[in-house]
Structure 1
């Protein structure tokens, strides 16, 4: 072999695993879910005059100032005992069920409310229920980004207290206008659990184990609206319409208490940030930084986070179309598996869309039934639901292509 007259430098990355990494790892949960040890070696090959190559291996150590989850770290929510995870999920599921339960409980008492306030305005009558759902369209725009900045737990607790306050205000309202206004703000506060509960599940479970936990979260929005009108109707007839709100107040008080006692912070970004601060104090090393820290100020993070749900709604065809489906049928599990890191934001985007539909449709209900009649009016709603049937199948066939499309890969959420 002839001697080479130039020097060849080759950088070879060697990944060594003692076992296979866990599939579908969420990037938001750091390195604690990857088995084995990884290392990188730079191999420099230099040709000598005899044509022989000398290989010099130089190990490159990871940055010691990066704070990440250790393998099997007990403070990582993914590694919590099952009993602790179930406890957190149960608390959040209860709060999630209470929110839609309160949305429909007063529906059966609408005639009593209108009679008590001597009003015959049909729009105001529908607003008692629909304005609460309208609050769902505004609350998620704040709660989801705030939960991804400051953690899930403080947002849960703040919203539980606000929901309790506005539920009391509804019970003692002395005018129909005041009742409608208080219902709106109660809906804004109640939208918290609907919005960020999926983020809590994503924090606690890997993708292959999320099914059961997500089922408990989805049961709330399905079970609550079904039971609410029945319970509200009997209670309003027996005790008066104000007692429907007093019952909501009692349940909201229970939600506040159990959340303060049993709920825990689950968001890895916040937990790693706390761990970093603690290590800085212990070691005196001010160069330590969280593995999930992207180097932005809180103000920059808030500006990005506050517009993320809207951007996800109109820039992502997956999110927009699945949100359209969710106006009629649930599609939340698909969404949080698609956008794992920003599960709360994608839930917020979907909640905003379906809540706008749910809030505005009742206001048009009387006019629709007057024009079409009961039969064709209900048929129109059925046709809208039928139009959504092909969408899950289309996502099953084309979902991967949409997720990997060049247009979406350039979108930064």
Structure 2
């Protein structure tokens, strides 16, 4: 038995409280071989061959139910981030806002999604995924409704920030839950299916918002999405199952102790936290995402790559509708329809990227039988090629607008850019899940922090950039920056990722 596990005669009253389903559960950090049932018959663990309670052994129907609940919830929360875009002018006039203030009202939602996961992600590794999802559903619903009733700019901006904080739970939970229920060889398929609906949210939002802005009050943007959110909150109570392994095992151990009257049953995680005070435990847990971001080079590299391209995405999303109205003279409703090019590009990238990722992973395993798979298997040496595609699309998009080329050519450029960004980003998401299996939600939250910051900040300077440089040179400048950041970084991770992970401090 590993030396850091106390004997089974340790009094159970030294273990953290176990009276409710919402309980503390932290993964051990010992590098020694973990104990097994053969070492100790009182250890409560999953059966390694098959265990109905193990999320990775769940029936496919339950796995997809959990994944689909997250996907549909993510669609609504991401859609709300952009649904205001076509109506910013209308909202600004009604609430007496300047242009900067109206853009702030939309972007501050994204600022909240930078800070929310830093708290919500770690809490899901303490109290479980289900509790966090249900609480965030209610929180988001309340403040999104408040946005619809806002009669001052201060109330709208404040409610948008608080709604974004609740919405951010989806960023913290998605990676953790997908890592909980899907095995590594299914990572691409699960990510592709999960992303199929949420990636539509950012593009569908302005489409719906455009028609609402032109035909009814902008307030229905928030009321309609609140109705959808209420439905999803009700569905999640029955369709979403707890997937966090430490909490599932802890409940099993509690039942065994109650049914048998034998207090010697325990889980590794209970023994690990038994001598740690709850304040210290929560402090270490909540600070984990920032410690990962500050001290783990892998998270730093991944965050920088994803942050830059996520910022580019929101530059496009925030300026796309206005570009069609100002440069091509189309109506608000028709300007929203062009967001279909964004949606189709992201959908194609997510589906093809998932298939390609799993196929490469299986071929790698077949080529090296008996070798243990590594997270670097998610990033092949030619992955940098995918980063060239969105930069070419960005240049194409900028100069076609500059010279007012036919609208179809502009939409094709946007499709190409979104396709490349999505297919390249999936590899990085899968890498983080595989590299931090014990603390996936915290690692995802660390990566999301910089992504949301750039999504908040980049649109703020977009009008000034395009005003001075024009769409052609403005996008060309962004494209070259994308090449400098996006092409070398995946190669560095592929070549040196294992060494960097080995040198990194524990994620505890």
Q: Give the number of the structure whose residues are more often strand, by fraction.
A: 1
Matches within 5 A, 1:330-349: 330=425, 331-349=428-446
Determine if the alignment matches structure 1 residue 190 to structure 2 residue 288.
Answer: no
Offset, 1:235? 1.4
Which whole-Å deviations, capped at 9, do the CAs of 1:177-205 have from their partners, x for residues lacking one? Answer: 10011001111100101221111011111
Match of 2:494 in 1: 396
Larger Cα Rg: Structure 1 or Structure 2?
1
For 1:376, which of 454, 473, 497 is the aligned residue?
Answer: 473
Q: Structure 2-normalised TM-score?
A: 0.67
Matches within 5 A, 1:123-272: 123-272=100-249
State whether residues 99 and 194 of structure 1, in contact with CA within 8 Å, keep that contact through their aligned partners in structure 2: no
Offset, 1:218? 3.1
Offset, 1:217? 2.9
Match of 1:303 in 2: 283
Offset, 1:266? 0.4
Q: Give the number of the structure whose residues are more often helix, by fraction.
A: 2
Distance 2:178 2:76 in 1: 18
Distance 1:412 1:247 in 2: 41
Match of 1:92 in 2: 70
Match of 1:55 in 2: none
Distance 2:507 2:187 in 1: 26
Compared CA separation, residues 412 and 201, structure 1 to 2 (3 A): closer
Determine if the alignment matches structure 1 residue 279 to structure 2 residue 377.
Answer: no
Distance 1:214 1:288 in 2: 36
Match of 1:105 in 2: 83
Match of 2:305 in 1: 325
Distance 2:76 2:482 in 1: 26
State whether residues 202 and 336 of structure 1, in contact with CA within 8 Å, keep that contact through their aligned partners in structure 2: yes
State whether residues 166 and 185 of structure 1, in contact with CA within 8 Å, keep that contact through their aligned partners in structure 2: yes
Aligned alpha-carbon RMSD (Å): 2.0
Matches within 5 A, 1:54-73: 62-71=39-48, 72-73=50-51
Distance 2:147 2:291 in 1: 34
Which whole-Å deviations, capped at 9, do the CAs of 1:144-183 have from their partners, x for residues lacking one? Answer: 1110000000100110111111111000011111001100
Compared CA separation, residues 392 and 315, structure 1 to 2 (3 A): same
The aligned length equals 355
Distance 1:177 1:215 in 2: 39
State whether residues 180 and 245 of structure 2, in contact with CA within 8 Å, keep that contact through their aligned partners in structure 1: yes
Which whole-Å deviations, capped at 9, do the CAs of 1:31-85 have from their partners, x for residues lacking one? Answer: xxxxxxx89xxxxxxxxxxxxxxxxxxxxx6123321112422111111111111
Match of 2:265 in 1: 288
Q: Structure 1-normalised TM-score?
A: 0.82
Distance 2:443 2:175 in 1: 9
**Unmatched segments (≥5 aa) in structure 2:** 1-25, 29-35, 310-420
Match of 1:264, SS state, is: coil
Distance 1:344 1:284 in 2: 35
Offset, 1:411? 4.0
Compared CA separation, residues 28 and 214, structure 1 to 2 (3 A): farther
State whether residues 288 and 442 of structure 2, in contact with CA within 8 Å, keep that contact through their aligned partners in structure 1: yes
Offset, 1:107? 1.2
Distance 1:288 1:379 in 2: 63
Offset, 1:365? 2.2
Which whole-Å deviations, capped at 9, do the CAs of 1:270-329 have from their partners, x for residues lacking one? Answer: 111111111111122223221233223433321111011001111111111111111214
Match of 2:31 in 1: none
Offset, 1:341? 0.9
State whether residues 136 and 355 of structure 1, in contact with CA within 8 Å, keep that contact through their aligned partners in structure 2: yes
Offset, 1:342? 0.7
